Structure formats: C-alpha cells, structure tokens
Amino acid sequence: MAFPVLAVLCAGLGLAIYKYISGWRRNIAKARKTGLVYIAVPISPISLLWQLTFKIWVPLIQLLPRSLWEGWLFVMIPEWGYKTGQTHFDRLGTETFVLASPTRLMLYTQSAEVIHRMTQRREAFPKDVALYGILSMFGHNVLTTEGAVWRVHRKITSASFNEKNAAHTFAEAISQTRGMLDTWFGPEGERTGTTKTIRSLEHDTMTWALNIIGYVGFGLRLLWPGQTLPKDIDPKLAKYGSLDAPPGYTMSFAASVALTLERIVTILLFPATVLRVLPFKWAREAYEAKVNYLKYMDEFLRDKIEETQGGGAPREGMDIMGQLVQSKYGHRAAKENGPKLDDSEIVGNAFIMTVAGHETTANTLHFSLVELATNPGAQRRLQQDIDGLFGGADPATWDYEKHINALLASHVGACVNETLRLVPPVTVVPKIVSPDADQAIRIDGRTHVLPAGMSCSLMAVCAHRNPRWWPTRPSERTPGAPTDLDDFLPERWYRTRDEDGAAGGGAAAAATATTTTTTTTKGGVAAAAVVEEDIDDRADYGGFQGSDVSAALYRPVRGSYIPFSDGPRSCLGRRIAMVEMGAVLAVIFQRYSIELAVDDWASDEQVAAMGPAERRALYRRAQARSTETIRQADSVLTLKLHGGRHVPVRLVKRGMERFVSDPELV
Ligand code: HEM
Ligand SMILES: *[C@@H]1O[C@H](CO)[C@@H](O)[C@H](O)[C@H]1NC(C)=O
C-alpha cells in the first residue's frame, strides 16, 4: 500500500522539480536573448510565498558565502530601490537589467530614455493592471482598467480636472490648512507662540489630505475637531460632513473613508461574512468601515441622482462623484449617446480618487514639512519667497489666477518637487510588455527585443537620483557622498542643465522620436515588421496639459523625474496635488516656522540657557536623526514611515524660532 503512495509522491516531486528547473532555464534563455544584463533568482520576488516569508530566508541566505548571493539577493528585498539607490545599478554597470526566476521575467530600469519610451507607448507597454485588480472591489475604475474600457473611464473622469476646479481646490486647501493650524496651536499656542512637541505629523497630514479629498471627490466640507458646519448648510451635506455618526450609521463619513483606506488590505483579503465573525479588533473595524462606507456611497449616489434629475444647476465647486452622476443622469447626458459609466463604476471611480489622492498627498505634505525642518536654509529661502509673493495678506484673500503660477515657480514649487524627487509616494511604476507581441525598444542606440508579457518596473525612486540624467555637484551636506543627489536641495530646480557636470548626453536621445521594430511571434515563426513610431508627447488624454511653471527653470530630462508617472497613464490629479501643496506650504510658512523637536536631549530650560554653538550642535543631532528616519521609509501602498517611526517637530510663530533662524544652520 505504502509503495504506490510513495511512488506518486516521488513522481509528483520529480515533476515539480523538473518544471521548476525547466521554467528557470527557459526564462534565463529568454533573458539572455534580450541582450541586456540579467540576473537569475531562484524564486520570483513578487510571489506571495516569498513576500510572506522573505524575512526568514534573507538572514539564512546571508549565512552562505557572499559570492553565492551578492549578485541577486538585493532585488528580492521589497523597496530595494529606495533602500539601495544607485548601488546595484552601479555594480551591474547598467541602468536596465532583466531578472529571470523559474516563473517570471522582469525588467528593472532607472534609465530616463527607457522610462520615457515605456510611458509614452501605452499600447506596447500597458499598465500592469493585474497588480491593481484588488482595487476594483468597489467597481471598475480609471486606475484599474486598460485598453478601450480605460479610455472611457479616463475621458469621463478627466472632465473634473480643469482649472476652474483647481481654483476651488486651492481655496479649500487654504481653509483646511487653517483648520490644521488651529488644531495645532489652539489659544494656548497663540499665547506662547509655539506648539507642544508634535510626536508625528502623520495623523494630521492624513486628516488634512482626507478632508480635501472629501471636497474634491464628493463636494463635501469636512471638519477638524472643534469646528462646526455653517448653519445655512444643505442638510444633506451636513449628514456627510458631520464628525459624528448620523442615524443609521456607526461612524462618520470621514471616519468610514479613513478606516476603509487604512484597513484596505484586510478588506480586500477577507469577505465581509468572514470579517463579521472574526473575534479581532482589526476585523471588526474593517467590517464596520466597509459596511458604513458602502452605505454612504449608496445613499450618496441616490441623493446625487435625485439632485441631478431634479434639474437644478449643478452645484458650484468640485465634486467628482456628482459630476460622474451628471455624466450619466444629467439632461445633457440623455442627448449624448457616447459610452457611459454604470452605477458601480461611478462608485468605483469615486473610491479610487480617495485611494489615489489621500495617502499620496498626505505623505508629500508630511515629508515636505520634515525635510524643511531638517534643512533650515531651504526653509528660510521658502519663507523669503512667500513673503515676496503675499507679504502679510490674509490667505483667504489669495487669488488663484493671480498667484498660482508664481507660487509654483517659487521655492514653494521647488520644495514640493524636491520632496517628490527624494521620497516619491509611488516609488515604482509597474508596466508590462504587451501580452500580444514582443516589443523592440532602443536603449543607448541599440535595439533590444523584450518578450511579450514581461513585467517592467520603472524605478522612479532610482531614476530621481541617477547622476547620468541630473546635474550634480559635490555634496556639502554628506561628506564623502559621490554627488549631492541624496540631499534635499530645492535650489537644484533653479540650476541650468549645462551649468553643472550633468551628463546630459542621453537627453537628446530620449527626447526624439524613435524607429522601432515590432516582432510578432506566432506558432514559433517570427514575423518581423518595422513600425515607424513617433512618441507623441502632446496627445491629449485628459488632465492638466500645461507645465507647472515658466520655462526658465530647470526641467528634468524627460523620464528622469516621474513622481506622477508620465504619458497617457500619468496621474490625473497632478495639478490638483501641486495646487494643494502650494497652498498648504504657503499658508503655514507665511506665519510659522517648523523645527525638529529636541526634547530627547534637552529640556526647554536647558535650550534657553544654551549659547549659539551648543544649540547648533544639538540641532545637528536632531537633523542627523531625522535624515536617518526618513531613510527608513518603506512602502505598503505608498512610501511612508512605518512601524511607529516618526520625526517629532514643533511649529513656532515666525520670530520665535530657537534654531532654524540661525544662518549658520543649513
Ligand atoms: C502628490 C500626490 C500624488 C502623487 C505622487 C500621485 C502619483 C500618481 C502616479 C505615480 C500615478 C500612476 C500610477 C501607475 O501608473 O501605476 C497616478 C495615477 C493616478 N492618480 Fe495620482 N498622485 C497624486 C495625487 C493624486 C490626486 C490628488 C488624485 C485625485 C484627486 C489622483 C488621481 C489619480 C488617478 C485617477 C490616477 C490613474 C490615472 C490613470 O490610470 O489613467 N492622484 N498618480
Ligand atoms: C517642478 O517640476 C516640474 C516637472 O518636471 C517642472 O515643470 C517645474 O518647473 C518644477 N518646478 C520648479 C519650481 O522648478
């Protein structure tokens, strides 16, 4: 009896080993054929098994002789691009390499030239939407679809992203920033001129971004604790805007969105029926959040449809979900017979706007504030520019049309750019070689054929620090660093390309049109057809088309700077995000400065008793710790501080700084 079982087991094992080895050999052969540098790894770095257990294996593998793992282990560690920067690209002597595992072929690139081509040629290199499948759970949407379906979603959703709405968002961002400042200061802070130490900015920057997305996505006015809604507000809006749970709900609308996003992985992994009975707090929270969120969406949809069919003029202000409902149920929509979104797709798109616009913007604000506290020189220059633009004028009077371009062209825009360069929320943009056909691509003057279906990781976070495409100088901040590309230096956005030792050699190549060869393999016969392909940088896929500012500033080589991705699938919310960031930084730094907290080393009395040299030495310790903390950021959904990591800060009224006004501190 035992013998046949054993035999079957052995045969099964043999077959598995055979499949493993033959799959690996096949992929290695394919990798070699691309003509690119390649590395072979024993398991796919994105397989679930590896992702769940790598923390066990990595230290064990590292016990083996270094030569056995040095060449490939780095790529197996999640977020390796942020953690290791240029190191492994330098060691491999390439900007683009291929990985061959038994089950997968992947390409990694930090080449501006390759990134530019892949982001422009949407059909040859579509988005790897399989990775985003889970984000369709509330309905298909613009982020998770491809091809003709995506075009419909993109066309309909992009209608909301216009300059008029950007102006509305500017005003809302100003008002939300004041809510945040009031929360920080209170009457006590107004009197003393300083906040207490804020352990972490994360919670409040998340609230700030959520409140704005509530406005952008749903036309809502969401509140900070202690704020109340205006008395004359529409009772329907009051229901969604309230800080408490309205009848029939167990939490406020804002809480349901925040908690759904926070528990999104749980919600996606477990069906509601399971979550409901699991005896854990996280399960309960996830369940409650989802149930409330769906109920709000349902009711919201019905309200909006009613409002739309009631025939009143659409409400003034930004409201993506309202506009989507208009596009289906509005009077004008009835006359047009273009494709329409169905109800679940309306809800799906509204949800995806909160996913795409919440944590991304919150992190950008969080890191901008921390970087500015860590870099007093940059903070002082930022304040000079803000003073020049607005003087003491009340932010409520700032005019979008008059100010926005100058604001984004100033150090304010440069600081946002610099934060997005160093700590981009989306560190890797995932593409795939079209499954329909192999694709040829020119890299440094040579043509390489990439096999159909291969995944391609555009390593934004590495490209942003790649000295081949960025002008560099020796680092003043980090002695011994090969360049200043790891430093937070907003001034770099005012450098000219040739002023420095930039290896802009690839620039011209990346910017021009290309001739490519598409090789189609059918039944083993390779039929090659040469396709003349122009990279069309100006095609209109909706969203903001203009540049953020004037042409006089440093413009990165196309493909070397992609915090919002690029090309047809680039971020729809780019303009909105830049406008929000411009508003928040200007409002904060017009009247306040931000300093790293030093409580861990000295009390307020001790600091008060210190001379300038001692204060500087103290602040430098805080700067070093902050830099080290930022370096430990990691991604689950976006790049941020995890595991309780935090940078404590204080906000002080201008003129009351203890450290950052010292010109010796840079
Ligand atoms: C600093 C803030 C933001 C950053 C860094 C950012 C970054 C990105 C990136 C990198 C992508 C491309 C993702 C990919 O190809 O896999 C993207 C797509 C998208 N973003 Fe943003 N985003 C930000 C804010 C926003 C905001 C505020 C909104 C909406 C209100 C938004 C809406 C979208 C949408 C709808 C897409 C999908 C576009 C498509 O696939 O056609 N984003 N974003
Ligand atoms: C920020 O980056 C964008 C995109 O590259 C660029 O157009 C803009 O000029 C930059 N802003 C500043 C102030 O340099």
Own/partner pairs for 279-288, CB < 8 Å, 24+ apart? 285/259, 286/259, 288/250, 288/251, 288/259
Whether 330 maps to a domain, the answer reads yes
pLDDT category of residue 535 using cuts at 50, 70 and 90: low
CA of 413 to the centre of ligand 2 (A): 7
Helix (H) or strand (E) holding 533: strand 525-533
pLDDT category of residue 310 using cuts at 50, 70 and 90: confident
Question: Could you tell me the residue range of the domain that residue 167 belongs to?
Answer: 155-359
Find the largest Cα–Cα distance for the chain. Answer: 90
Taking the CA of residue 562 as reference, the ligand 1 atom at the shortest distance is 10
Cβ-based neighbour number of residue 210 at 10 Å = 23
Residue nearest to atom 42 of ligand 1 (CA): 573
- What mean pLDDT do residues 331-341 have? 82
Whether 453 maps to a domain, the answer reads no
pLDDT category of residue 132 using cuts at 50, 70 and 90: confident
- What mean pLDDT do residues 61-75 have? 96
pLDDT, one tens digit per residue, over 614-664 is: 999 999 999 999 999 999 999 988 999 999 999 999 999 999 999 999 999
Contact 609, 666 (CB under 8 A): no
Cβ-based neighbour number of residue 631 at 10 Å = 12
CA of 416 to the centre of ligand 2 (A): 9
- Higher-pLDDT residue of 299 and 334 is 299
Per the rule left: phi > 0, alpha: psi between -120 and 50, beta: everything else, 439 is beta
Provide the pLDDT for residue 534.
47
In this model, does residue 55 exceed pLDDT 70? Answer: yes
Whether 29 maps to a domain, the answer reads no
Cβ of 547 less than 6 Å from ligand 2: yes
| pLDDT > 90: percent of the chain | 76
* Nearest bound ligand to the CA of residue 321: 1
CA of 459 to the centre of ligand 2 (A): 20
Cβ of 143 less than 6 Å from ligand 1: yes
pTM here? 0.92
Taking the CA of residue 416 as reference, the ligand 2 atom at the shortest distance is 1
Whether 644 maps to a domain, the answer reads no
Rounded Cα–Cα distance for residues 59 and 557 (Å):
39
In this model, does residue 536 exceed pLDDT 70? Answer: no
Residue nearest to atom 3 of ligand 2 (CA): 548
Residue nearest to atom 2 of ligand 2 (CA): 417
Provide the pLDDT for residue 548.
55
Provide the pLDDT for residue 313.
67
In this model, does residue 107 exceed pLDDT 80? Answer: yes
- Residue in 571, 572, 635 to alter for ligand 1 test, most ligand atoms within 8 A of Cβ: 571
pLDDT category of residue 354 using cuts at 50, 70 and 90: very high
Whether 205 maps to a domain, the answer reads yes
Cβ of 470 less than 6 Å from ligand 2: no
| 415 assigned to a ligand binding site | no
CA of 336 to the centre of ligand 1 (A): 29
Whether 342 maps to a domain, the answer reads yes
Provide the pLDDT for residue 334.
75
- What mean pLDDT do residues 231-260 have? 87
* Nearest bound ligand to the CA of residue 547: 2
Provide the pLDDT for residue 549.
53
In this model, does residue 489 exceed pLDDT 70? Answer: yes
pLDDT, one tens digit per residue, over 185-200 is: 988 888 999 999 999 9
Provide the pLDDT for residue 317.
83
Domain count across the chain = 1
Taking the CA of residue 412 as reference, the ligand 2 atom at the shortest distance is 13
Whether 207 maps to a domain, the answer reads yes
Taking the CA of residue 561 as reference, the ligand 2 atom at the shortest distance is 5
In this model, does residue 513 exceed pLDDT 60? Answer: no
Q: Write the CB contacts of 644 (distance below 8 Å, at least 6 apart in sequence).
A: none
CA of 446 to the centre of ligand 1 (A): 32
Provide the pLDDT for residue 337.
79
Provide the pLDDT for residue 188.
86
CA of 360 to the centre of ligand 1 (A): 8
- What mean pLDDT do residues 320-338 have? 86
What stretches of 109-241 show up as alpha helix (H) in DSSP? 112-120, 147-158, 163-192, 202-218, 235-241
Cβ of 549 less than 6 Å from ligand 2: yes
- Residue in 381, 382, 545, 553 to alter for ligand 2 test, most ligand atoms within 8 A of Cβ: 553
* Nearest bound ligand to the CA of residue 430: 1
Cβ of 350 less than 6 Å from ligand 1: no
In this model, does residue 526 exceed pLDDT 70? Answer: no
In this model, does residue 234 exceed pLDDT 90? Answer: no
Strand partners, 98: 38, 107
Provide the pLDDT for residue 519.
36
In this model, does residue 511 exceed pLDDT 60? Answer: no
CA of 573 to the centre of ligand 2 (A): 16
pLDDT, one tens digit per residue, over 23-50 is: 999 999 999 999 999 999 999 999 989 9
Cβ of 43 less than 6 Å from ligand 2: no
Q: Which of 99-113, 364-378, 490-504 has the lowest mean pLDDT?
A: 490-504
Whether 477 maps to a domain, the answer reads no
Angle at 288 between CA 285 and CA 289, to 5 degrees: 80
Strand partners, 228: none
Provide the pLDDT for residue 129.
86
- Residue in 382, 496, 555, 558 to alter for ligand 2 test, most ligand atoms within 8 A of Cβ: 555
CA of 89 to the centre of ligand 1 (A): 27
CA of 594 to the centre of ligand 2 (A): 24
Residue nearest to atom 18 of ligand 1 (CA): 571
Cβ of 413 less than 6 Å from ligand 2: yes
Provide the pLDDT for residue 547.
56
Rounded Cα–Cα distance for residues 161 and 568 (Å):
15
Over the chain, what is the mean pLDDT? 90
Residue nearest to atom 12 of ligand 2 (CA): 414
Cβ of 119 less than 6 Å from ligand 2: no
pLDDT category of residue 496 using cuts at 50, 70 and 90: confident
Cβ of 544 less than 6 Å from ligand 2: no
Structure tokens at 502: 């930039």
